[in-house]
Amino acid sequence: MKNLIYLALGVISLLLVQACHEKKSKNYNQEPQVDQQGLNFIRDANEGGLAEIKASGLAITKTSNQRVVAFAKMMISDHTQAANELQKIEVDKHVTEKDTINGDHQKNISDLTPKSGRAFDKAYMQMMVSDHEKAASLFSSSTTNGDVDIQNFAKKTLPTILMHLDSAKAIFASLK
């Protein structure tokens, strides 16, 4: 029952992010007020966050490892909060691109679905290590973005991403 509640929270978080996106796309017909680098950052940060929320919702329902469950709950909470903050930047900058999960992330999530037990835990945590390494690189390079809002968001969020990466590596190492 507890796992279903956490899965429901994850799904609700995804739906809220999508609803906010739909609202912002209806409010503005203006050109985005960020350059291509800023648009790429927003797209990639949103996509990574959405993929981690979705995979973490799956983890809560499929694992019995309490460290993995705690990590997945943290992912849902922290990435939902970051998505909400990034969504405010999108609205302020008139960015109306649809927030989606691309083929690579979707394939990783689809590959997780049939797994269970220790095999699931290893695959999920390996995905979290890989995704957070990419996110750390993305956010680190964006701390010098020309747009001050993106720069500040990247600087504020990077320490959390690095903490997630360290935690994911430690949990993954304990599963070997």
Place of tokens 């690579």: 104
Q: Which two tokens stand for residue 16?
A: 């809220």
Q: How far apart are CA 176 and CA 163, in angstroms?
A: 21
- In the DSSP assignment, the letter for residue 45 is H
Which residues of the chain fall short of a pLDDT of 50? 23-28
Q: Which of 175, 139, 142 is nearest to 159 (CA)?
A: 139
Q: How far apart are CA 133 and CA 120, in angstroms?
A: 20
pLDDT at site 1: 61
Which residue type, as a one-letter code, is found at position 28? Answer: Y
pLDDT at site 2: 62
Which secondary-structure segment (H or E) carries 165? Answer: helix 148-174
pLDDT at site 166: 97
Which residue type, as a one-letter code, is found at position 139? Answer: F
CATH for 2-174 is 1.20.1260.10
- Cα angle 122, 126, 128; round to 5: 120
